Structure 1
Amino acid sequence: MSYTIPFPRTALLAALGVACLAAGGARADAVPAAQRPVGEVTMSVGPVTRTTAQGLPEMVRRGTPILPGDRLDTADGGHLHIRFIDGALVSIRPGSRMLVEDYKYDPQRVSASLVRFKLEYGVARAISGAAAEGARERFRLNTPLVAIGVRGTDFVVRAGELTTRAAVNQGAIVMAPFGADCTAQALGPCGSSSAKLLSADMGQLQVEFRPQLAQPEIKPLQGAVFATNSTPENGSTVVAARSVAAAPAPAAPALGRTDSERLATAALADGAVTAAISGQAAAPVPPPAVTPPPVVITPPPEPPPVVAVPEPTIPLPPPVLAWGRWAGVAAGDGDIALPRAEAADGRSVTVGNAQYNLYRASDGQTELARGLGSYQFALDKSAAQYSLAGSVSPATVEQGRLLLDFGNARFATDLRVANALTGAVGISGAGAIRGDGIFFDRSVAGQAIAGAAALDGKSAGYFFEKAVGAGTLSGITLWSRP
């Protein structure tokens, strides 16, 4: 299903207008930069408020000036258009909050421009102006989860507590999750290994990030993702099922008396028929003489040979959890992942990174079973590798421990992973378990752990990544309760 951003660029330009800011001529130079307007509201619909850097709120109307440090809130039914001093255009949808953290633009020194927005939640569309065009490395839009840099762009972002999604109408954006090599205080696109580029030339696609993933994912564009009445934050889609009535069984033919039922079950001899007509008893009819047939003795047939019947094989149910690999072929003999299409059959994705996704069967459930306690899990399968300067060498998970305490919604794990280049390396992490069984830990710089438990609490799996030397030690695991 193709998706069109609800308001095209030409319509947005017309709505925002070309109104100039009342700068006050030469007197504006005497006003401190932090107090100079950097934009102006060109359209305000419904309940919209502006809170200044000093914490003073006011209702927004057309012509309201926008200053650095302003926080803009649109309630349900509220909608806001802003035109900035460099010609940039921003639209903020209902139920959103955006901060104008920094906005510096000097037409005489465009390369020194600085633009930084923060979309705390909701939906916003931004069309780059001269500042972003002339100083792309100094433009940034942050959400609570990711940093977005631009490359001459018209794009839409939806931010929530658990997901950030973005689509591009024109140009390109770079999305990267926050981490040691990508901070909210920096400017421009993050150059981290987990960054993803999305351009309009790539077609009807969107880029999406969730905390349990190692990096953003490129997905087909969903029509409802950026609509005001959006799908839930977990990305689930409700599909109306068609009820198909069972076809009635064909009616059985009407029962009637058959020919055999209409006939008598015993035949009367001629004499019996005559006696019955005359009312007299029928004389007995002597039996005809019968010549006995010759006796023939037939030997009994030989018994058939005894054939052993094998016991029926009862197929094992498919595993609840399965790793699916992005690559077309296995990484080696020790690769425990399936082709992605096979792993996804009857399962949905939970966590993943650039190499693997963990798929889980749910039988329609979305939350962990109730009454689960605290369990020590045993390591069933694992696969690991060390990547250095484009070269990959196998690694071995020598030992591991995983504790899932569902009652207190906590997990803890540690592994010992060995490689010929790195020696034995310890990997450990701990954190919370969500109600849907997903858990992750990014508290250690250069390390990521993310996984999921089966909804019945009987099995689990997670991936790990750790920077070691100039390379990365990574792998996938599967666990079960003894």
Structure 2
Amino acid sequence: MPIAAKTSRVFAGLCRGLVAIGAFIVVLPAFAQDAGQVVLAVGDVRMAGQVLRVGDAVRVGAPLHTGHDGYLYIKTIDNGFLILRPDTAAAVAEYTVDAGQPGKSRFRIELNQGIARHITGEAVKSARQHFRFNTPVAAIGVRGTDFTAYADDRLTRVAVLSGGVVVSGFDEQCSPGGIGPCEGPQARELFAGQPGHLLQVEKDKALPELLQNVDLAPAGSPPPRGDEPHASQSASQAGTLEANLDPVKADRLEAIDTVLARPPIQWGRWRDLAGEVPTLPLLALLANHKLLAFNPYFALLRPNDAPWDNRVSGAVDFRMQGGEAVIERDNGSAYAAAVENGRLHVDFAQRRFSTGFDLVADGERIARRADGQVFADGGFENVSQFLGGNNMLVKGALGQDAKLRAAYLFQTRLDDRRVAYGSTAWVK
């Protein structure tokens, strides 16, 4: 079957599925399987072993991990935030919002190791009695709160930036499987009005200790990023535990979310491949994005409120930020391929582009190239993989935030048995 016909057939099937699913979504208050969305992903950040990018959905129960250079900001479905700093392992074990009866919503977050910051969302404020933040040795409940916690397998430290927490070590009256704060005789509270203090829980000691020692604070190493802004001068003078964190950070995070949750172009794989989950939440994005390009595995979209600014001039050479490819055999089986040695040149004066890369799989390296036209709306494409020295079909888009960016989908017949599909992202 020709590539165009196959793509049209798959796209038509997807559209029918979107219509059916869209009707179903109306009935539900939220996706039960999603806890939130990534609004910042820096360095090595993963969910269930898969790399996370801005815009990705965070699934309930999926393990989250940041490497030594990883920072992850998650905006929850009720407009709260969960921030993971480097070398942190966590999971959103339960995040169920009941829109009809908010007080029945249920939440449980697990911090297995590292440093995490949690800012209470709207639904949590209505169901604090059903919110639990667990570490290996302690249970943390909230009083309407912005707090930071450090955890390893033997101790937990908690600092409060706004509101208050109630903390208890695990014992017969406070089990890790519970929902809501532990309010027994071993529980202690900490409020933001107690500057310079933290609660510490050690393994096998249910009663938390109230300490006053800035050097032990969770704000230590690794430090927050610069976009977790510095505290005000007055807060620093008051001896706030996390003097390099702003207790009113929620407002700043909203600004970060506005910029980062809607990058100028979105690209990735919308379809499962050999058990690997999709890298692009296509259904969620279609609510406020325009679909620019689509093939049986990948999609490219632009936010409805972020049109291309057609004032760029001259010629630009881009570097490849990432790429992913799938090679599909005519019998329907498919396997992943790498994209290497990428180049993309755009001449805005001539409204032309040229691009190329090596497709690598199973020890085989296949050179691909394409030349085509750039349009006033920021789109670019070529018309055939068989004309003018082209050996692949490309359809892409340009975007601009703090940097000039580009992304495109490609498809190419490699031989009489195989077709390759892929997506690439580029930055100036």
User: TM-score, normalising length from structure 2?
Assistant: 0.45
Tell me which structure has the larger Cα radius of gyration.
1
- Which one has the bigger strand percentage? 2
User: TM-score, normalising length from structure 1?
Assistant: 0.40
